[in-house]
A and B are shown apart, each in its own frame.
Chain A
Amino acid sequence: MTDAGGEAVIELDDLRVEFGRRRILKDLRGAFHGRAIGLLGPNGAGKTTLIHTLLGFHGAAAGTARIFGRDIRSEARAIRTLVGYMPERDSFIANQTCVHFVRLMGELSGLPPAASLERAHEALFYVGLGEARYRRLGTYSLGMKQLAKLAQAIVHGPRLLFLDEPTNGLDPPARQRMLELIREIRDGGQAQIVLSSHLLRDVEECCDEILILKDGRIAHYCNLEEERKANRKFLELETRGDRESFAEAAGRLGCEYALAGEQRLKLVLQDGVEVGDLYRLAAERAVQIRRLNYKRDSLEDIFLKAMEDGDGSL
């Protein structure tokens, strides 16, 4: 979770958020450094509340958090100068053309009117709304509205972008376009990204680190690439027959195994054990091996594991 190399993007210091008597975020602690941090968790896990708290929309009941070293309690204004926010729900200012809307947002971030207008044009061309920038927002399709929201989030060139479900409601080409833009911003190295999504694939495609929340606690935090490298390759088998005895026999050869679903079996082969040995064991027990694949843990596996094990500890 720590990276000796760089400044932490976000530091959580026993951050607690309560709505009335309900505790939504429970003493979160950690420092996150990724270029693109994926925020994952089931509905109600506290992803959006965490983003809103970092933006200063909700006060912390206890503890605090820092963004680029600035405290959310005492330096909220300075933090908001550094961040861009793309909200989950439709958020607009009615009856405005898109370029007017993005320009206004730039000005509110402190840009002088002329600079803001110039950057509004640039941002809209960048996200692919250049030709439609003089249209009123009310006439935009859902995909265009999402892009307009992204444009307003980047118009002032923030160092950190909070993207809350950016691909919500997008058709596949629009989703691809949005993910491409996010990756481009990430790879440009000028801004870091916090991407909250319930779509694991989106996070997998865009993020290098993931933070999984469960019930207001941190269930898991990892560097996705390192996690993948650390994961041993395993075999996934689909079998017919006495799966349990076959698994036990493989276990006696020194293989770790796990039963999955009704027919499947996951095996980690030990040195010296070959796939041929598995076929021999299967033949001895009249077990059919219908399918055999080499696999690594996907983000889905990591997520599901976090959901099963996550106790809030890191």
Chain B
Amino acid sequence: MAVYEHTYRPYAGPLTPAWSRFLIIPRHAFGEIFQSKLFTGLFAVSFVCPLIMAIIIYLHHNSNALALLSIRSADVIAINNSFFRAFVLIQSSLAFVMAVIVGPALVSRDLTNNALPLYLSRPFSRAEYIGGKMAVLIILLSAITWIPGLLLFAFQGYLEGGGWAGENFWIARAVLVSSLVWVIVLALLATALSAWIKWRVAASAALFAVFIIPGVVGSIVTELFRTPWGNLINLTVLIQTVGDALFRQSLLDLDPWMVMPAGGAWAALLVWGAGCLLLLARKVRAYEVIS
């Protein structure tokens, strides 16, 4: 119908499937996020490391190119679990920067502008709203972490041949799981903080504080009581512990008594996640009721 036919008429066309509607939020959010040249630049920079690593993998398998560049094959970095862990660590740092930029405005802007009643008066639940907001970060951060990580793994497997990919499948799993843990933790924290702190700068600062303050307190408890369990509140250590178990290597040279079991780290991360969801459930409502 043309726009000049000014009349009220009901909609009789097809509807989108209910399960897919949470993806409307990231689709619209990306349009807005990528209007910022600064962010677009950062996003592009995030692919420099995967590109360099792809070149390293290529060189590793191309003796002609190495000869051309006068590099001895012994000097080329080995493609193993350490290589992929380094990739995950670099990309995780970039993911954190992105979460700091994008995360704080996710929910706070809707709360400031009283937009939640508009979302929730439609066939769109609170869970879908939270899922949609988290999906903004999860999709964005996945694009720079585990997706290029797995592509690198596939590239290496293709060039190496001879069943390398099958033998080292656990590395791919480690890249995927450790990246996803980091992405989900960041998405949960950023969304929860955004729901509680309306001021963007303060929400960004809080995201740093969540890593630093409990980390310091956890380290003090650990040293004071000579127990690894003080680090249950130290997110950095928890994620490193999970990463250590997945990549079958220890990142830090710790005394044996300081090493937390991976199961403990997983459990603590689950508690952190549940805490974030609880915070979101309390805040994401059409209207706050004061009893």
Instruction: Enumerate chain A interface residues (CB-CB to B < 8 A).
Output: 19-22, 52, 55-58, 77-78, 80-81, 83-85, 87, 89-96, 100, 104-105, 107-112, 115, 118-119, 121-122, 125-126, 130, 152, 154, 156-159, 162, 184-185, 188, 190-191
The minimal Cβ–Cβ distance linking A274 to chain B, given in whole angstroms, is: 50
CB-based contact A108/B291 at 8 Å: no
B7 interfacial contact with A, CB 8 Å: yes
Q: How many residues of B contact A (CB 8 A)?
A: 41
CB-based contact B8/A52 at 8 Å: no
Closest 4 CB pairs of A and B: A20-B291, A157-B10, A157-B11, A110-B15
| Binding site secondary structure of chain B | loop
Closest to B110 in A: A93
Closest to A109 in B: B122
A53 to B190, CA, bound (A): 31
CB-based contact A92/B24 at 8 Å: no
Instruction: Enumerate chain B interface residues (CB-CB to A < 8 A).
Output: 1, 3-16, 18, 21, 24, 28, 32, 109-110, 112-115, 117-125, 285-287, 289-291
Interface centre among B16, B112, B122 (most CB of A within 10 A): B122
Closest to B287 in A: A57
The residue from B4, B8, B24, B286 contacting A108, defined by CB atoms under 8 A apart: B24
A58 to B113, CA, bound (A): 20
CB-based contact B287/A52 at 8 Å: yes
The residue from A77, A93, A121 contacting B118, defined by CB atoms under 8 A apart: A93
The residue from A52, A85, A87, A130 contacting B114, defined by CB atoms under 8 A apart: A87
Closest to B17 in A: A110
A112 to B23, CA, bound (A): 12
A158 to B122, CA, bound (A): 10
A21 to B287, CA, bound (A): 18
A57 to B291, CA, bound (A): 15
The minimal Cβ–Cβ distance linking B135 to chain A, given in whole angstroms, is: 14
CB-based contact B286/A57 at 8 Å: yes
